[in-house]
Every structure is written in structure tokens, then in C-alpha cells.
């Protein structure tokens, strides 16, 4: 495999350079003196930003963009083998790396690399750790899977030997990473278009943990079932965490009127500090506990970590308040798995609103079919549920599954649920039925956010 060496800057070409993750990695290489070129289907704010940093970007993708002076080509899972640039690189026998492989190569250039994994909460926990590490003046390089306002985007380029990133399990991407400190937040059945079942997913997380070197450490949620299957025989140090369980425990947890948690962090019966969050929900107390456990392993002071956590007010599309209209508060959230939906709605129900409306857009046909009953149970926490069409993403409908089937399940459970095939119909319905004092939560990994933004006049 081609090796990225910061001491030997080379020419790296990105197929699809305008993607949020690809653009961030390209920016890191530009900062290190690499020659960066790339292509995309059209110009965008991200490609314009990269050009301003010194990248050369071509539109559209073409075999002619693969020139002989390129040392390595980077591509994502979305690039098919019939892509003209992919084919040209293969013909010219230019070394190629997937996005995940490039990320792993970048991490190997840092003394301390942290990777946050788990089927839920990666972006939030990575963002919490970002705030902690910056508050403690570690000056890390950061790659996060969402827009973090405090760093002005999804990437931060530091000058220290610390690198922090998310580690995504889909298509086993995280098996290209070899962090010195890894975090596993949770393991649920998801991405069943790739994984066979939950045991297959657990096997991949075990492989990820096994790649942490001796002398490194794994921080893992003590609430994961059959934890020993994931940790027995590892060469690295294993540290557990949890709410009232694990080596690092969030104890004496309380919530304010906005559902934001405060807690003592304890280890071996000793209180290490008191921490107050600016994001709601028990799940975020757990996420904060994971971030703090990592921080203590790095030797960071509790008081500065507390300041960093308190400053974190969320990332885009993670329980993000979009605005108010007619006394109705509109919040958007990225939740698209039953576990994420459940914890988000539980947090929402603790807030001082009259009724909680959830507008949910299922994400992919395979996930909706495999977890239909779990979706219905999780969504039933809301007072009123409105369903949009399934967001296909990478799939086509070959399974005979629909949002109407999910609506029927909710109706059979005695819930008020509606399905509309268009956003315009949903918006009209909400304007007619939501009342002052209600919370309207748009939820999903697709473009459901547009509904709230349209109601607020933001789009």
C-alpha cells in the first residue's frame, strides 16, 4: 500500500474532492506542502475553498485529469469501477487509496491518534473531545463527520502530534485505521446492506479494537452486552466507562429544565470532577463520559476538560434548534436508527413542551425493512408522528417496503401517525395542526431538514 509521508510531500489526486470528508483530508495535505488536485461533478463552496488553499480542481470528472505526475489517487466507496478517472488510474498503474486508507495513512504521521467508533454518537463524541483537547491547548488536527461551529467546518489543522477522527464501521472502513487510543461507544445492528447481522458487526468492532497497539488504550462502553467477547486477549490497555457503571462512572446525574445533564465523574470511588453539559439527554452524558475517560488517559486536567465540555453546544443536525414559528419550536436531528431515535425522543419528551411532533424520513429500504418493528417502537415515544417517503441514498426499491407500512404499524399501536408522499403536503399539514407550545422535530439522515427550514423561511 502507498505510504503517505509528511516528510516527503507528493502529488495526491482526489476523485470526488468536493465531499465533506474528502475535502477535509485534502486540506490537511495542502497544509503539509503536498500537491493536491481533484475533480468533481460541479463547483461548490468546498471546492472553491480548496482552490483558495492551492488545490487544482477540474469539472467534471474525466480520464484526462489523471496525469503522469500524480503519485497516488484517492477515491470513495461512491466511485464505481467504471468511473473514467478510476479506470485511467488503473490503466496507468498509479497507486490508489480509499478515503479510509488515506485517513489511516495520515494518522500514522502523528504520535498520538484518537479514533471514535460506534454505531451512534461518533460525531457528537468526537466534537466533545475536540472541545476538550482545544481547551487543554493540545492543538490537535481534527476530522469530524459533521459541521462543528467552533472549528468552522469539519476539519481543523493543528501543529501538534495529536490527531482526532471519527471511525466509521460502514464497509469496514475503520479497519484501515490503527489509532493509539480507540473509543467504542456502542454496537447495534445497522448497515445491514453490508453486514450480515449483529454478530458480524461485533466481529468487525473486535477487529478494530485488536488494531490498537500494545502501549495504546481502548475506551469502551461498559453497557455493551457480552463485553468480554470484544476485550479479552487485547494487547492494549482496556478502560470501561458508563452511567453508573465501568471504570469511569457518571454518577449523581441530574438534568436541568432543558434536559442538559450534570454529573460527577468517579473512578475507584474517587470523584475526579463535576461536569455540566450544554446538550440534552442521557446519551450525551454517556458520550461525555467516554470523552472524559479519553481525556484522563491523556493526562488532561479536570477543570479545563469541564470548561471544554460546557462550551460544546452541539453540531449541525444533532438536536439543532432551527428556530420558532407561531410559538412552535423547530429542532432538527440526524437520528436514523431506532436507538438514536429513541434516545433523541426521550430527551425531547423531558423538555417543557406541550406536544412533541416527530417528522421522520426513513433512510434506506434495507434498514427500514430489517428494523421496522424497532422503528415503530422508538417513534411511538413522540406524541404525533408524520412520515415522509424513504430516502433511498445508495439503494433502489426492490424490497416492497414503504413509509406507509410503518405508519400502519404505528396506527396499530394506537399512535397518531400520518404519511405524505411530498414535503409540500407535510408542510401544509404541520402548519394546520401544530400549536403554540409544541416541539416539532425533523429527523433523519436525508433531506428532511428542508421541511423545518421551509416553514421558517430559511430556504
Mind telling me the catalytic residues?
Answer: 122-123, 166
Q: Which residue has the cell 493509539?
A: 180
Q: What residues are paired with 324 via a beta bridge?
A: 329
Residue 231: exposed, middle, or buried by beta-carbon count in 10 A (0-12, 13-18, 19+)?
middle
Q: Which residues contact 257 (CB under 8 A, 6 or more apart)?
A: 351, 352
Helix axis angle, 302-311 relative to 122-135, nearest 10°? 130
Q: Is residue 424 exposed (0-12), middle (13-18) or buried (19+ Cβ within 10 Å)?
A: exposed
CA gap 215, 123 in Å, rounded: 26
Q: Which residues pair with 418 in a beta bridge?
A: 386
Give yes or no for a contact between 302 and 291, defined as CB atoms under 8 angstroms apart: no
Contact 125, 291 (CB under 8 A): yes
Query: Which 8-state DSSP code applies to residue 270?
Result: E
CA 362-363-368 angle, to 5 degrees, is: 65
DSSP structure class, residue 166: E
CB–CB of 433/359 below 8 Å?
A: no
Edge-to-edge order in the sheet of strand 35-39: 56-58, 35-39, 11-15, 72-75, 96-98
CA atoms within 13 A on the CB side of 30: 23
- Give the DSSP letter of residue 391: B
Nearest to 241 by CA among 274, 191, 285: 285
CA 23 to centroid of chain Cα atoms: 16
Length of the chain (residues): 459
DSSP state of 190: -
Handedness of CA 122, 127, 128, 132 (dihedral sign): positive
Amino acid at each position: 500500500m502507498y505510504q503517505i509521508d509528511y516528510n516527503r510531500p507528493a502529488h495526491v489526486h482526489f476523485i470526488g474532492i468536493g465531499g465533506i470528508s474528502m475535502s477535509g483530508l485534502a486540506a490537511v495535505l495542502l497544509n503539509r506542502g503536498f500537491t493536491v488536485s481533484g475533480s468533481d461533478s460541479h463547483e461548490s463552496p468546498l471546492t472553491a475553498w480548496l482552490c483558495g488553499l492551492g488545490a487544482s480542481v477540474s469539472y467534471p470528472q474525466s480520464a484526462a485529469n489523471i496525469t503522469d505526475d500524480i503519485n497516488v489517487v484517492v477515491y470513495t466507496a461512491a466511485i464505481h469501477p467504471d468511473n473514467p478517472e478510476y479506470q485511467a488510474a488503473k490503466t496507468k498503474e498509479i497507486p490508489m487509496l480509499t478515503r479510509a486508507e488515506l485517513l489511516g495513512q495520515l494518522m500514522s504521521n502523528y504520535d498520538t491518534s484518537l479514533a471514535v467508533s460506534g454505531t451512534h454518537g461518533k460525531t457528537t463524541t468526537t466534537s466533545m473531545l475536540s472541545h476538550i483537547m482545544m481547551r487543554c491547548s493540545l492543538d490537535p488536527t481534527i476530522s469530524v463527520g459533521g459541521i462543528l461551529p467552533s472549528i468552522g467546518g469539519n476539519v481543523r489543522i493543528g501543529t501538534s502530534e495529536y490527531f482526532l477522527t471519527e471511525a466509521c464501521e460502514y464497509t469496514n472502513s475503520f479497519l484501515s485505521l490503527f489509532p493509539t487510543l480507540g473509543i467504542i461507544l456502542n454496537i447495534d445492528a445497522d448497515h445491514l446492506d453490508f453486514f450480515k447481522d449483529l454478530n458480524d458487526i461485533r466481529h468487525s468492532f473486535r477487529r478494530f479494537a485488536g488494531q490498537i497497539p500494545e502501549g495504546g488504550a481502548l475506551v469502551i462502553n461498559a453497557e455493551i452486552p457480552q463485553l468480554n467477547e470484544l476485550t479479552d486477549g487485547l494487547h492494549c490497555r482496556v478502560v470501561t466507562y458508563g452511567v453508573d457503571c465501568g471504570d469511569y462512572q457518571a454518577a449523581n446525574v441530574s438534568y436541568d429544565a432543558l434536559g442538559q445533564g450534570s454529573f460527577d465523574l468517579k473512578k475507584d470511588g474517587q470523584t475526579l470532577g463535576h461536569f455540566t453539559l450544554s446538550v440534552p439527554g442521557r446519551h450525551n452524558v454517556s458520550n461525555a463520559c467516554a470523552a472524559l475517560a479519553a481525556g484522563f488517559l491523556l493526562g488532561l486536567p479536570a477543570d479545563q476538560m469541564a470548561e471544554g465540555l460546557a462550551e460544546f453546544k452541539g453540531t449541525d443536525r444533532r438536536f439543532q434548534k432551527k428556530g420558532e414559528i407561531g410559538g412552535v419550536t423547530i429542532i432538527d436531528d440526524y437520528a436514523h436508527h431506532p436507538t438514536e431515535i429513541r434516545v433523541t425522543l426521550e430527551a425531547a419528551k423531558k423538555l417543557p413542551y406541550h406536544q412533541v411532533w416527530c417528522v421522520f424520513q426513513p433512510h434506506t429500504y434495507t434498514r427500514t425493512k430489517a428494523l421496522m418493528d424497532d422503528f415503530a417502537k422508538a417513534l411511538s415515544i413522540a406524541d404525533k408522528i408524520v412520515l415522509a417517503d424513504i430516502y433511498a441514498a445508495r439503494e433502489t426499491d426492490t424490497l416492497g417496503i414503504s413509509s406507509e407500512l410503518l405508519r400502519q404499524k404505528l396506527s396499530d399501536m394506537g399512535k397518531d401517525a400520518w404519511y405524505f408522499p411530498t414535503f409540500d403536503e407535510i408542510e401544509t399539514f404541520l402548519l394546520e395542526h401544530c400549536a403554540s407550545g409544541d416541539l416539532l422535530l425533523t429527523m433523519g439522515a436525508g433531506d428532511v431538514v428542508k421541511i423545518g427550514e421551509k416553514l421558517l423561511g430559511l430556504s
